[in-house]
Amino acid sequence: MSTLITPHTDARMANIIEKVRGGERLNLEDGVYLYESNDLLTIGQLANEVNQRKNGNKVYFIENMSLYFTNVCESRCAFCNFRKDEGEEGAYTLSGQEMVQYVEQHIHPGVREFHIVGGHNDNVPFQYYVDSLSALNERFPEVTLKAYTAAEIDFFTRISGLSIREVLEQLRAAGLKTLTGGGAEILSDQYRKKMRVDKANVEEYLEVHRTAHHLGMKTHTTMLYGSIESREDRIRHMLQIRDLQDETGGFMVFIPLSMQPKNKNAGIMRRNSAYEDLKTIAVSRLMLDNFDHIKAYFINIGAQLTQVALSFGASDVHGTILKERISHAAGALTPEGLTREELIWLVKGAGRIPVERDTFYNEIKVYE
C-alpha cells in the first residue's frame, strides 16, 4: 500500500485507514471523526485510493443541456433564489413547444442528455409536466430525458391524486429515462422544518427513488451542504442514502452540492471554504462504499477546485450544461457551462483520463 502523506496519524485515523483498506464499512462515528479531523491530506489520499480501486484514472463527463420549463413554485425554501410566484416579474412557464424552440436555437451536435428541473408550479396540471417531456421526446428522440427531482415527483402525486408508481409510469411513457438527484437537501426532517423545505420529507424523498429503482430505473442523488446542518447531519444523510443503495442498487452517482449564498456579492465568509468542499467530497467517497461515482460539481465549487477534487475521491465532473440557472440565480460565481474541449482540458490537467459517457455511464469515447 502507498505511504500516507502525513505519517503522524493518530490511533483513530489509523483504525479508519485499516477499515477502508480492509474493505470494512465505516459507521456514523467514523464519518463524524473524519469531518472533525484536520488531516485533510490523509482523508483525501484515502478517498483517492478508494476511487482508484473503483475507476482507475478515468473521470467521466457528458454532453448535456440544463432545461427549466418553469420557475413558478409553491414552495419557499429558505435557500432558494430561483423560485417566483405566478405573475411576479421574471416568472415564466414554457409550453413543450416553446422549450423545443429554445432547444433548437441552442443545441449543438453531441448533446446526449437533457437535465430538466424546475419549480413546483401548481397553476398547471400534472398533464402539463407529462406533455413537456412528450414534446421533447418526439422532437429529440436520441437525447436522454433526465427529468424531475424526487420532490417534484412527490408534488406531482399531490396535484394529480396518483401514486408515486403511477406518476412515474406516465412520465416514463412520455420518455422519462432517469430522475435527477435534487430535492434531497439534508435528509433530516428537523433541518427541513428550520430551512422551510416545504416539499417532500425524508421518507417521501427516499420512497420516490425506491419506487423508481423497483421499476428498473437508475437515478441520481444529492446532498446540499453548508448551511445550518451539523456534520453529524451530513453523515446521517449519507447513511440513509447508503442504506437505500444496499436495498435497491439503483443509484449511479452521489453529488455533494456546496450551498451558494443568495447573491453574487456575498463575501467569502458566506461561502463554503475550499477545505470544506474537498473534505465533503472525500468523506462522501469513504462513506458511500456502495456507490461507483462521486461527482465534483464545477457549477458550485469552480473548475480549478474540481480539478483538485479528482485527487480527493471524485470520478465525475458532470457535463457541458450550457446554461445553469438555479445556482446562478443565487450567488454562484462559476461558469454557467463548459465545452467538451474545456472539460477534457480540465480532466487532463489533473493528470486523469477524460471519458465521455452517456447518462448511464456507458463509455462513448476515452480521451487518452
Q: Which residues are documented as binding site? A: 73, 77, 80
Length of the chain: 368
- In whole angstroms, give the CA distance from residue 123 to residue 126: 10
Please give the Cα distance from 178 to 148 (Å, whole number). Answer: 9
Q: Beta strands of 50-155 (E only): which ranges? A: 58-62, 64-67, 113-116, 144-147
Report the binding-site residues for [4Fe-4S] cluster: 73, 77, 80
Rounded (5°) CA angle 19-23-29: 40
| Residue 317, CA distances (Å) to 85, 302, 303, 307, 347 in order | 33, 11, 9, 9, 8
CB 202 within 8 A of CB 189: yes
User: Cell numbers 505519517 label which residue?
Assistant: 7
Residues in CB range of 77: below 8 A, 6 or more apart: 83, 185, 195, 196, 197, 198, 199
- Identify the DSSP state of 330: T
Q: What distance in Å separates the CA atoms of residue 288 and residue 239, rounded to the nearest whole number?
A: 8
